[in-house]
Structure 1
Amino acid sequence: MTADDSYDRLEDDNYPAYTMGRAAEMLGTTQNFLRAIGEARLITPLRSAGGHRRYSRYQLRIAARARELVDHGTPIEAACRIIILEDQLEEAQRINAEHRRTASLHTADT
């Protein structure tokens, strides 16, 4: 592995660079919170060779959003469902925008 490979992994939003302890510390939460959102299937941490949970920056952003909702009184299961629905809505909006662009290109060609 070269230094460039290491740098590329650290720049990768999906690279599981953070241990459960470090992730909880960064989020200002507990390891039990991370386990709970994992059990609710909001995020699925990768496992190290030794079986330890590892989290990516992307997963930490999702966990931070869940923590924000829970801190405002939303039950953890509901917070996870809200985030999943928000993600689905964002994806549907992206697809619709792409369809509109495609349709406008076809209309312009005729």
Structure 2
Amino acid sequence: MTADQSLGRLDDDDYPAYTMGRAAELLGTTPGFLRAIGEARLITPLRSEGGHRRYSRYQLRIAARARELVDQGTPIEAACRIIILEDQLEEAQRINAEYRRAEGSAKPSSAA
């Protein structure tokens, strides 16, 4: 892999570029918090060849949302469930909008 290819991967939201320590630092939290949301199956970090957890920018955004809820007093398990449900709702709304667009384009136009 060339240096340009490696740098390009850093623009990929799913590329696991952050170590646990760096991720915790960026989020203003602890590695234990990241482990807890991993145990709750909110995010599943990838593992380096050495077995260390690595996080993507996408996972950090999810973790930041979890931290926001926990900071507001929501128990961590409930925060994880809320985020999962929010994600499912967003996906359902996206699919519904696609169906509506497809249905709208399939209807024959009526002449007045």
Taking structure 2 as the reference length, the TM-score comes to: 0.95
Structure 1 unaligned spans of 5+: none
CA distance in 1, matches of 2:69, 2:107: 43
Q: Specify the alignment match of 1:70 in structure 2.
A: 70
CA distance in 2, matches of 1:59, 1:50: 20
CA distance in 2, matches of 1:63, 1:31: 11
Q: What is the aligned-residue RMSD (CA, Å)? A: 1.1
Residues 46-75 of structure 1 deviation map (CA, whole Å, 9 limit, x = unaligned): 000000000000000000000000000000
Determine if the alignment matches structure 1 residue 4 to structure 2 residue 15.
no
Higher helix share: 1
> Which portions of structure 1, spanning 4 or more consecutive aligned residues, are displaced by more than 2 angstroms?
none
CA distance in 1, matches of 2:108, 2:20: 52
CA distance in 1, matches of 2:109, 2:52: 55
1:52-67 mapped onto 2 (5 Å cutoff): 52-67=52-67
What displacement does 1:4 show?
2.2
CA distance in 2, matches of 1:2, 1:39: 35
CA distance in 2, matches of 1:70, 1:57: 20
1:84-99 mapped onto 2 (5 Å cutoff): 84-99=84-99
SS where residue 54 of structure 2 aligns?
strand
Point out the more displaced range, 81-90 or 4-13: 4-13
Q: Which amino acid aligns with 1:41?
A: R
Q: Specify the alignment match of 2:20 in structure 1.
A: 20
CA distance in 2, matches of 1:103, 1:63: 37
CA distance in 1, matches of 2:5, 2:81: 36
What displacement does 1:7 show?
2.0
CA distance in 1, matches of 2:106, 2:76: 45
Structure 2 unaligned spans of 5+: none
What displacement does 1:2 show?
1.4
What displacement does 1:109 show?
5.9
Count of aligned positions: 110
What displacement does 1:18 show?
0.2
